[in-house]
Structure 1
Amino acid sequence: MLILLLGSYLIFGFILPSFANLAKLPSPQLIVLQNENQIIQNLKSKTQNPKSNNSLIENSIEEGKRLYDVGRFAEAVIVLQQAVQEDKQQGKIQKQAATLANLSLAYQQTGNWKEAKQAINESLQLQELNNPSKNQKLLAQTLMIQGKLFLSTGESENSLKSWQQAEKLFVEVKEPNSRITAKINQTQALQILGFYRSAIKILQEVNATLKTQPDSIQKVVSLRSLGEAQQIVGDLKKSNIALQESLEIAQRLQNLDEISASLLSLGNHALICDRTTEALTYYKQTFQFAPSPLIKLQAHLNQLSLLRERKTDTTTIISEIQTLLQQISPSRSSIYAQINFAVNLVKMGISSPSPIDILTTAIQQAESIDDIQAQAYGWGELGKISELAGKFPQAQKLTEKAIVLLQGTNTPEITYQLQWQLGRLQKAQGDIKSAIASYDIAIDALQALRSDLVAINRDVQFSFRESVEPVYRESVALLLQNPELRDKNGQADVKILDKARQSIEALQLTELDNFFREACLQGQKVILDRVVDRDNPTSAILYPIILADTIQIIVKLPNQSLKLYTSQIEESKVEQTVAKLRQDLSNPSAIQDLKMRSQQVYTWLIKPMEADLAKNQVDTLVFVLDGVLRNLPMSVLYDGKEYLIEKYALSLSPGLQLLNPKPIVTQNLKALTAGLTQPPKNFPNFAPLHGIESEFKLITKAGINTTSLLNEEFTSTALERKIKEKPFNIVHLATHGQFSSRIDDTYILAADGKINVRKFDNLLRDRDEARSEALQLLVLSACQTAEGDKRAVLGLAGIAIRAGARSTIASLWQIDDESTAMFVGSFYNELKKGISKAKALQHAQLKLLNHVNYRSPSYWSAYVLIGNWL
């Protein structure tokens, strides 16, 4: 049976700077029966000798395939239409069904989506009517074409179903290569739907199968797809290996389509890794090699974004993009390309070509292919242009039009941005009540993205601070700064405070998901208020929230409703003060500057509630810190006479608890200690840690039952083995490490190299957390935050969570060996007395503070406790 076989030329999409969920569209690979010269001769013969038309019609399927193969799609449509009529007249049902499927594919290439849908549906209906003699292979191939159509028109779930059905049929008819193609195509739909890890698992299986086979297009596509999926979940090293291998095979095959597609993917990879010069080179090479106008366009659009950021002349590339857009038939990819182009022009302040005209054309084309999502993107961007121009009523109408289009669709990745935009517009026009409602919908959509794993769509992932974080902050600002939501005394309603606090906690949780590139903490929150009211009624929880012109501090006092305290201070001033204070902490001689700045922060955060804390006899403060405050140890805050650590035990929480807090059982403390006095040879920037042996001896002297791995004994495999062998409830790691907002740069050192934060799942979480020997405490005594990284403590929270430890103590910067040993010994001595971890930490820090050599905060304030403070 003759049918056009759909291959899987999978194209990595350009980066949309705003609305984004770009399909990676397959383009068909067809069997070549004759070369192009033969086709041309046939066409000449047809033109010069009309009498030969009958013989050509007899071979119309063959002719249609040949025309299609050389990109003459409109002519292929005409020939295949003739073939359908002939098959119908002759009653050849299966042949007619095959020709209709081919016709659908040709229609797709010309952008005639309604006709393509009609043709494929007629093909499937014919095959169903002819059920007793159904050709399973024909049906599978037809489903492959249907899957491509669904993906091209935005119906990703349906495309996945079509390709899954096709795969089953290919198994039945024993077509292993076609089955692999179906599986590869499925992974593209899975990635568009956000299920990247499921896609990676399938692609790894496919690549294992293809590894021993000769070079092929399937190999190229499968490796490229794997590399792209690994890139999205943050496994950048493996991603680069897969993409390079994909390029090498494509080059050996001398296939320009695949070479250009792999070059484009490598350019996107370099861009994500901040290697912009390398990215530009790849994009230029892509444009040079690509036969496909669409790939040329995608490369140029990415190049345009980079040139815009570099403020380089873009006149030539803009002109070339305009030309390319005229060469491409309407599809989701081409429509998104136009939206991308228009957004870039707006950001560059260019009015000719007109971004509005480009968006209008994109919307019209989206309507012609019935792509609701693409229409919504277009209307949303038109609304944004009006918003930037200050035309708020017009912007609101356009935005609402986009929102109405999406009613009844499951598109949270678009909905949250449109509702956020609507909320901004309503706020600008003074409609605060409606704005709050719109922000609520936007946040609900973001939460849906988490649970569906679409949150790791790379456009959300790599612009988190621009396109996700502001939604939460602006929502909280509306709640806390709106006088209509306050009582007669100016105090915000308790329900409003709780809602604001939950929004900030949701932001913290979403940020951690973004760090891990997976929604790994879903459904594990417990309410901290209960711990304060019932288990530890001398503690208070503080939620300082940094807004544009204030710090709003929500406080939970024992057995009382939430309260709100406000400090009038601009966000930029907070960031500058905290940054300078953090610098002071690394300089023991800068004590006067340090006290001045730390007193300033104390005035913002603690002074407004001093009386209430004293009245409720609070002795422990638990901070859920926000923004730049997370890089600052709260112990160093200064009231003019005393540091905060002299008045309170302190702890940090990432806004949630993974395990129900319980005091540590001091009678049976068993610790695994592991450390390196000398860093591995390939890490020359780290200094020796000569005090580790002394540190370990002091832990044992404190009465802790210890097992040690020292120097060459301390490898990642040895650590994992020891943890599995014995039920340790403490793991104490005395080794260099780094916390960063980038997951690849968050690690500790073992003798065999880095133990990345991802590996902590394997090393430390292989235990039943309900048993008494669950990991109670993880101590990281010689780590530091990445220099210049404002969000580096995110990596510390990541390590704490990945370890599954109920509590984590870590240093924010590396300090003197002797003071570290003194601190560690004192901490474990205090812990053995049965007091809380927070108080044990406080007493150990006070011992350093009161020591003649270590009074400077740079020695004792580096240590923080995260998690369970009991």
Structure 2
Amino acid sequence: MAMANLRYVLIGCLILWLTLGTGRTAAQITVNGNSEQGVINCTIPDRDLSLSQAQTLYESGCYNAAATVLETVSQQGDSINQAIALSNLSLTQQQLGNWQLATDALKMAFERIEVSNADHQAAIQAQALDVQGQLQLARGQAAAAATSWEQAAQLYTQLDQPNRAALSQIKQARSLQTLGLFQQVKVILVDVAKSLREQPTSDGSEKAIALRQLADVLWMTGASEISLHKSDSSNEQQTRSVQSLLKESLNIGRELNRTDITAAATLSLGNFYRHQFFKDISQPTIDHQKAYKNFSNTLFIYDQVINETSNRPSALQALLNQLSFKVNADIRDWLSEAKGLSTDQQRELQTALEPTALQASYDTAKTQLSILRPGRQTVYAHVNLAESLLKWQQMKWQQNQPLAIDGTEILALLKTAEAQARQLDDKRALSSVLGHQGQLYGLYSKDSQGPWQNAYLETATILTRQALSQAQAIGARDISYQWQHQLGRLLTAQGDRDGAIAAYKGAFDTLQTLRSDLIAVNSDQRFYFRDNIEPIYRELVALLLPPTRSQQSKANADGVQTSQQDLDLVRKVMDALQVAELENFFQAACVDTTTELGKTLQPGDAGIYPILLDHRLEVVLQLPMVDKTVQQANTTSELTEDYTLQRFSSNVEKADIEQLLSQIRRNLDSSNPGAVRQFERASERLYTYLFEATEIGPQTKPQTLAIALENALANSSSKTLVFVLDGPFRAIPLGTLYDGENYLLEKYAIALNLGIEVRESTTLPNGADLKVLAAGVRNPPIPFEDYVLPNVTAELEKIQTSGASVKLLQEEDFTRETFNQQLNDANYQIVHLATHGQFASNREDTYILADDERLPVDELNALFRNTQAIQNPIELIIFSACRTATGDNRAVLGLAGATVQSGARSAIAALWSVDDAASVPFAEAFYQHLEQPDTSRAVALQQAQLTLKEEYTTPRYWAPYVLVGSWR
């Protein structure tokens, strides 16, 4: 559970409570051997209230009591004392989720600071800005938070407090990261690294904390190291890895004899290896030895903290982290498929995951919990342990094995946590406890029948509603959506479809307000999205598109009522899922705005949403309003102001569609006649499922009048198909779908919409009015020298003779600096890049090559988003020699991400490595067709591919190109 780590800074005799991080790791646990378990003293003293008393209450988790004391203290003493009390009051109200009260207190604090003439005015202002940054980030105001922390860092620098300045800069970088401003993040982190390098170790604990947080923010933003000049006068580079930063923090802690610092640094190292492991096993092609090494390092480091540190809170935290790691189902999935591991390595992994090892960890953790001082951190420690046990139980059920831990033990942990949360009057903690109790009862309902099952479901529903009520009372959206999702699942199990849809819609609406908050990186972020975020979208869509009677049984179908409102919500949910996936790819809220696809469709366009559910393939067809007469004549679809929506469905298992897609992708880039025949057979079957899907209309319409999708498209006179693709469909170019006689590309121009902004865009100009920046590299830099492109010069020459106004950058002329300069100096409608590049399922492996270096997708924003580009956005960017990572369904997100980062309205790239020689006639044909009056970029691409098909009949050569974004 996300909690802020708290720190207390003395200025003379005055105390200010500060937050030093908003990471998602658990707060530090405190131990009190003299406290009785479950007894919390939140009594407010009768007189002589002071900041120190408020601090004691705060540290005990008595936030309401601390707030009461601070309200009194804030009215006493001089203005600077009042400012400190008010800043602390804001921090306390933030813990309670009272955002408006926190804002009001902070506003009054700044007013007191402004009228103060005390010597410590600047220091208090810097600390208040720190508190303000946390408040703004918690309320989704990442840009404002970055400004607050920037101002705090400047004040700390003026006060000659470089370590505190570094801490504020680190938090500034985290907030900018959520906005997708990776280049700015990199600049700040390099500055922080230089500053910390220059500070002597004698500066002590603050430097150690800053080093650890710098290391954490590096791996959380996808980096494992940072490069900087060895000195201001040297161009020689020095690399600081996450491990080296944490080692330095660890050494400082040892010199100071601070076990809390050494344990925290070691814990961070364990969390880093954990992150690396999950990153390893999320790759389409897994390096199993590398994954094994990071798995072993994770457990070794956690064991080191557990067994060697005298800091008991850190030991318990390591134990809880280790147990949650071991019960992760993805580890077992990886182990079952891991290849190339030795017998000893496999035995080591299996031993670590044996039930006896998990039981021992649980027993030790349970003992450690008994000596914790009651408080919010203790509540979350109980929840953390219970959550791991719940995951362990789920695995046992799925494997049809005896239960690992009796459910009453899990419930006892949660009941202890509930009692403490109620004593603290902590609504957030109580919400977490009640929600997990609901999860426990819901889990046990699946293994029960009859009255017991109903009783468990009813209890789970009541507890989940209570958890949701507590979360909503304090505006805790980050946990509200979880309980709304859980409630939706419980109501679905009870057959309450309307109630379930309402709960899912609540979760969906909450997620739309949370975007940047969900970006904060977990060590297993991609898996977290897959398991906790994506299902909300898909399960809601499944409820909105109920199966027909024939899909429920073998009876004849007579239609299912699907309202226009339901179909419209399906469309919105699938659009939002595209955005969520793209932002998960970037780990940043980088998609500023989206325009509904229906508002941009024009006569001749059709929007198609293929949606793959467990036992059926659903398709939603969106047509512009202009087709009203045709639609009314041929269908009973309802109308909106801008577009019509129709539903089509095919009875097919999800696994069968996925197998077909895999067969198509595997054989597409082969010239072998046998592979081509296999591709055509699989492609024809997929075409049947998709385009012969039957219309599902209102119950009043006879099923015999229902038409197939291909007929609806023919009736609409559509010429361009805009696909909003569901996951697995992104692996193939849909133009290769085969009806037995023709490919889809031969009938329609095709474009993809992947969540990027659909902006109004006009047809590109002709002749000299079309300005093109064409850049290419034949011989790429080391270590990419194997990716030689011998025909780059010929390709660029074809573009230069196309009739457009073309600026060429070739070989040594195509550097980061010259490329950036050209983008600043002129307004180009097209940027054509004939250079090697790759689009992968993670942004770290998505890049293009200049002559002098690799340009990561993160940095395209800084290169393209100059003043000229902002005023006149690039219409089209073409990655003619780039490719997506083989077998990676998410790799097209890299293409969409590159489009977003460049600010272009659309992009063209290939789904696999294209023959360099074929790129030349492709480029020639594309620009020739683009020269034709009123020719859209989608049609120009279609015609260029068909031209290529005449020369290269095998799909491997003409099929890979896809257009993402605007198709005008």
Structure-2-length-normalised TM-score: 0.75
C-alpha displacement at 1:855, in angstroms?
Answer: 1.3
Task: From 91, 103, 124, give the equivalent of 2:53.
Answer: 103
Q: For 2:650, what is the secondary structure of its paired residue? A: strand
- Residue 229 of structure 1: CA displacement? 4.7
Q: Judging changes above 3 Å, is the alpha-carbon distance between structure 1 residues 194 and 340 closer, same or farther for their aligned structure 2 residues?
A: farther
Counterparts of 1:2 and 1:182, CA distance in 2: 17
Match of 1:438 among 503, 506, 513: 503
**2:854 alignment partner, SS class:** strand
8 Å Cα contact 1:651/1:864 also seen in 2: yes
Structure 2 match to 1:755: 855
Summarize the Cα distance change of 1:338–1:644 in structure 2 as closer, same or farther, 3 Å threshold: same
Alpha-carbon distance in 2 for matches of 1:284, 1:414: 31
Contact 2:434/2:464 (<8 A) preserved: yes
1:691 CA displacement: 0.8
Q: Which one is further off, 564-573 or 215-224?
A: 215-224
How far, CA to CA, are the matches of 2:133 and 2:461 in structure 1? 37
Partner of 1:270: 273
**Which residue in the other structure is 1:49 paired with?**
none
2:562 is matched with which residue?
492
Aligned to 1:351: 405
Question: 110-119 or 6-15, which moves further after superposition?
Answer: 6-15
Cα distance between partner residues in 2 of 1:152 and 1:490: 48
Aligned to 2:327: 308
Q: How does 1:203-602 map to 2 (within 5 A)?
A: 206-207=165-166, 211=196, 213-214=199-200, 215-229=203-217, 231-234=219-222, 237=225, 241=241, 244-245=244-245, 247-252=247-252, 253-254=255-256, 255-274=258-277, 275-288=294-307, 290-309=309-328, 310=331, 311-312=353-354, 313-349=357-393, 350-352=404-406, 354-390=409-445, 391-450=456-515, 453-459=516-522, 461-462=525-526, 463-481=528-546, 490=560, 492-522=562-592, 524-532=593-601, 535=602, 537-558=603-624, 559-560=627-628, 561-589=644-672, 590-602=675-687
The letter for the 1-side match of 2:324 is: S
Q: Is the alpha carbon distance of 1:73 and 1:474 closer, same or farther for their aligned partners in structure 2, counting shifts above 3 Å?
A: closer
- Secondary structure of the equivalent of 1:709? strand
Residue 880 of structure 2: SS of its match in structure 1?
strand
Tell me if structure 2 keeps the 8 A contact 1:256–1:291: yes
- The 8 Å contact of residues 260 and 289 in structure 1, kept in 2 or not, is answered as no
Give the deviation of 1:472 after TM superposition. 0.9
Matched residue, 2:779: 678
Q: Secondary structure at the match of 1:389?
A: helix
Amino acid at match of 2:575: E
Change (3 A) 1:319 1:177: farther
Please name the residue that 1:42 is paired with: none
Contact 1:554 1:564 in 2 (8 A): yes
Taking the aligned partners of 1:499 and 1:81, their CA distance within structure 2 comes to 51
Q: Which amino acid aligns with 1:804?
A: G
Unaligned runs of 5+ in 2: 1-10, 155-164, 167-190, 228-239, 278-293, 332-352, 394-403, 446-455, 552-556, 629-643, 693-707
Which residue of structure 2 aligns with residue 860 of structure 1? Answer: 958
1:124 paired to 2:74: yes
- 1:715-739 CA distances to partner (integer Å, 9 max, x unpaired)? 2222111111121111001111111
* Distance in 1 separating the partners of 2:378 and 2:924: 65
Show the counterpart of 1:645: 745
Q: Which amino acid aligns with 1:737?
A: G
Q: Deviations over 1:178-199 (max 9, x none)?
A: 6656655665555555556665
Partner of 2:832: helix, strand, or coil? strand
- Offset of residue 616 of structure 1: 2.7
Moved more, 670-679 or 145-154: 145-154
Question: Separation in 2 of the partners of 1:194 and 1:227?
Answer: 24
Change (3 A) 1:548 1:326: same
**Contact 1:539 / 1:621 at 8 angstroms: preserved in 2?**
yes
Aligned-partner Cα distance in 2 for 1:803–1:196: 22
Contact 2:17 2:91 in 1 (8 A): no
Q: CA 1:182–1:828 in 2, change beyond 3 Å: closer, same or farther?
A: same
Q: Tell me the SS of whatever aligns to 2:835.
A: strand
The question of whether the paired residues in 1 share the 8 Å contact of 2:29 and 2:378 is answered with no
Contact 1:247 1:258 in 2 (8 A): no
C-alpha distance in structure 2 between counterparts of 1:157 and 1:291, whole Å: 41
* Distance in 1 of aligned mates of 2:133 and 2:206: 13
Distance 1:666 1:295 in 2: 67
Task: Report the RMSD for the aligned CA atoms in angstroms.
Answer: 3.5
Aligned to 1:51: none
CA distance in 2, matches of 1:160, 1:218: 28
Contact 1:332/1:374, CA 8 A, preserved across alignment:
yes
Q: In 2 relative to 1, CA 662–674 (structure 1 residues): closer, same or farther, beyond 3 Å?
A: same
Contact 2:945 2:959 in 1 (8 A): yes
Is 1:822 matched up with 2:767? Answer: no
Displacement of 1:638 in angstroms is 0.7
SS of corresponding position for 1:850: helix
Question: Partner of 2:909: helix, strand, or coil?
Answer: strand
Q: Is the 8 A contact 1:382 1:395 kept in 2?
A: yes
1:276 Cα offset (Å): 3.2
Does the 8 A contact of 2:835 with 2:879 survive in 1?
yes
d(CA) in 1 for partners of 2:922 and 2:848? 20
CA distance in 2, matches of 1:654, 1:341: 39
Q: Is the 8 A contact 2:724 2:753 kept in 1?
A: yes
Structure 1 SS opposite 2:908: strand
Residues 809-849 of structure 1 show CA distances to partners (whole Å, capped at 9, x for unaligned) of 11111111111111111111111123221111111111222
Query: Partner amino acid for 2:597?
Result: L
SS in 2 for 1:449: coil
Distance 1:354 1:157, change over 3 A: farther
Please tell me the residue identity of whatever aligns with 1:457.
A
What per-residue deviation string (whole Å, max 9, x for no partner) do you get for residues 581-636 of structure 1?
A: 11111222110110011111111222331222223332221111111101210111
- The residue number in structure 1 matching 2:942 is 842
Asked if the contact 1:227–1:238 (Cα under 8 Å) also holds between the matched residues in 2, the reply is no
CA contact (8 A) 2:836 2:881 kept: yes
Tell me how far apart the structure 2 counterparts of residues 817 and 491 of structure 1 sit (CA, whole Å): 52
Quickly say closer, same or farther: Cα 1:789–1:656, change in 2 above 3 A.
closer
Per-residue deviation, residues 156-213 of structure 1 (Å, max 9, x unmatched): 7766876787788499534466665665566555555555666566277521696555
1:119 & 1:538 partners in 2: Cα distance? Answer: 68
1:173 aligns with 2:118: yes
Deviation at 1:219, TM superposition (A): 2.8
Match in the other structure for 1:709? 809
Which aligned pairs between 1:790-801 and structure 2 lie closer than 5 A? 790-801=889-900
- Give per-residue Cα distances to partners, 1:68-113, cap 9 Å, x unaligned: 9x99899xx99x999x88xx6xxxxxxx45xx32233334445555
The residue type paired with residue 932 of structure 2 is K
Q: What SS does the aligned partner of 1:789 have?
A: coil
Distance 1:330 1:848 in 2: 72
CA contact (8 A) 1:765 1:804 kept: yes
Query: Which residue type is aligned with residue 910 of structure 2?
Result: S
Aligned twin of 2:453: none
Kindly indicate whether the alpha-carbon contact (under 8 Å) linking 2:537 and 2:574 is maintained by their aligned counterparts in 1: yes
Which residue type is aligned with residue 679 of structure 1? P
In structure 2, do the counterparts of structure 1 residues 748 and 571 end up closer, same or farther at CA, with 3 Å as the change threshold? same
Is the partner of 2:381 in helix, strand or coil? helix
Task: Please give the secondary structure, in 2, of the residue aligned with 1:374.
Answer: helix
1:721 correspondence with 2:721? no
AA paired with 1:723?
A: L
Cα distance in 1 for partners of 2:242, 2:205 equals 14
